[in-house]
Amino acid sequence: MAPAALGSEARLSLAAFLLGASVVGLPLLTRSGLQARTVLALYVAALNALLLLLYRPPRYQIAIRACFLGFVFGCGLLLSFSQSSWNHFGWYMCSLSLFHYSEYLVTAVNNPKSLSLDSFLLNHSLEYTVAAVSSWIEFTAENYFWPEMKQITWLSITGLLMVVFGECLRKAAMFTAGSNFNHVVQNEKSETHTLVTSGVYAWFRHPSYVGWFYWSIGTQVMLCNPICGVAYALTVWRFFRDRTEEEEISLIHFFGEEYLEYKKKVPTGLPFIKGVKVEL
């Protein structure tokens, strides 16, 4: 039963994501003389109607989220290839939507027992939402007053490389940890919980946090957002410092001396963060 449900949810989300991403074909319709805004509104309405016909809750809730992320990804692709000062924002839209969708998909494949709508991380926290909206506002304002500021291509490419590195590292960590990975810090050890020290965990104690750290800062470098770039760096550093200490308290409780030995040999991977201090 569990594998079948897993396969069903993974396939459902992937189909819905690709359906939303098909928005990349809309320029073909606008060339026929139809107004772009009209076509876009009709397209969104048709997508929602189709999903309502095909699925019932809770499958509709999965489908609409995946479809929305696919839609954002498709719009990002269109914007990326546009001849405007917004093309780097298109890169950002692709990066953001792919990050959130892949969090759900990898969890569905890797650890279906912990899978839920929260696995999309769309409702991560109020602070996360405020940070994202702030970066959009900064980009829009600076692009309006100083459009040349958003066309520093080498800086945006540097940010894109940071995003790709962070995304790949985080997903590698999720796959390596398997069922041991969870979006929520665990306070009780399950029977199947083991200490993972191989793969990317041989490089860093917290590779998923390292990946997310550089991914988040990379998004602001990509957007050439100086204010949010600094703010993100300080905020995510503090967040992962506290998160690492919280998690390591549980890991020491779970694995004792085994984790302490691992802690001595392998760094956290996060700059100037050593993890929880252990008094001997």
CB neighbourhood size of 106 (10 A): 18
Token pair recorded at residue 252: 């020491």
Amino acid letter for position 199: G
What's the chain look like in SS3? CHHHHHHHHHHHHHHHHHHHHHHHHHHHHHCCCCCHHHHHHHHHHHHHHHHHHHCCCCHHHHHHHHHHHHHHHHHHHHHHCCCCCCHHHHHHHHHHHHHHHHHHHHHHHHCHHHCCHHHHCCCCCHHHHHHHHHHHHHHHHHHHHCHHHHCCHHHHHHHHHHHHHHHHHHHHHHHHHHHHCCCCCCCCCCCCCCCCCCHHHHCCCCHHHHHHHHHHHHHHHHCCCHHHHHHHHHHHHHHHHHHHHHHHHHHHHHHCHHHHHHHHHCCCCCCCCCCCCCCC
Per-residue pLDDT band for 2 (boundaries 50, 70, 90) equals very low
Q: For all residues of the chain together, what is the average pLDDT? A: 92
- 78-133 pLDDT, tens digit per residue, is 999 988 899 999 999 999 999 999 999 999 999 898 999 999 999 888 999 999 99
- In this prediction, residue 32 carries a pLDDT of 52
Q: What is the pLDDT of residues 182-236, one digit of tens each?
A: 998 888 888 889 999 999 999 999 999 999 999 999 999 999 999 999 999 999 9
pLDDT tens, position by position, 160-169 = 999 999 999 9
Domain ranges in the chain? 1-123, 124-279
> By C-alpha distance, which of 196, 191, 159, 189 is closest to 174?
196
Q: pTM above the 0.85 mark?
A: yes
CA distance 108 to 102: 9
Question: Rounded mean pLDDT of 120-148?
Answer: 95
Structure-token pair, residue 29? 């319709």
pLDDT value at position 64?
97
pLDDT value of residue 98:
98
Q: Is it the case that residue 256 has pLDDT exceeding 60?
A: yes
pLDDT at 3: 41
Check pLDDT > 60 for residue 5: no
Average pLDDT over residues 55-83: 95
* Residue 110 near residue 171, CB atoms below 8 Å: no
Tens digits of residue pLDDT in 223-249 = 999 999 999 999 999 999 999 999 999
How far apart (Å, rounded) are the C-alpha atoms in residues 121 and 117? 8
Query: Count of residues for the chain?
Result: 280
Q: Which residue has the higher pLDDT, 111 or 159?
A: 159
Please tell me the predicted confidence (pLDDT) of residue 231.
97
State residue 165's pLDDT score: 98
Determine phi and psi for 48, rounding to 5 degrees: -65, -40
Tell me the CATH number of domain 124-279, given options 3.90.1010.10, 1.10.15.40, 2.30.330.10, 1.20.120.1630.
1.20.120.1630
Q: What pLDDT shows up at residue 34?
A: 60
Q: What does the pLDDT read at residue 4?
A: 38
The span from the CA of 47 to the CA of 89, in Å, is: 24
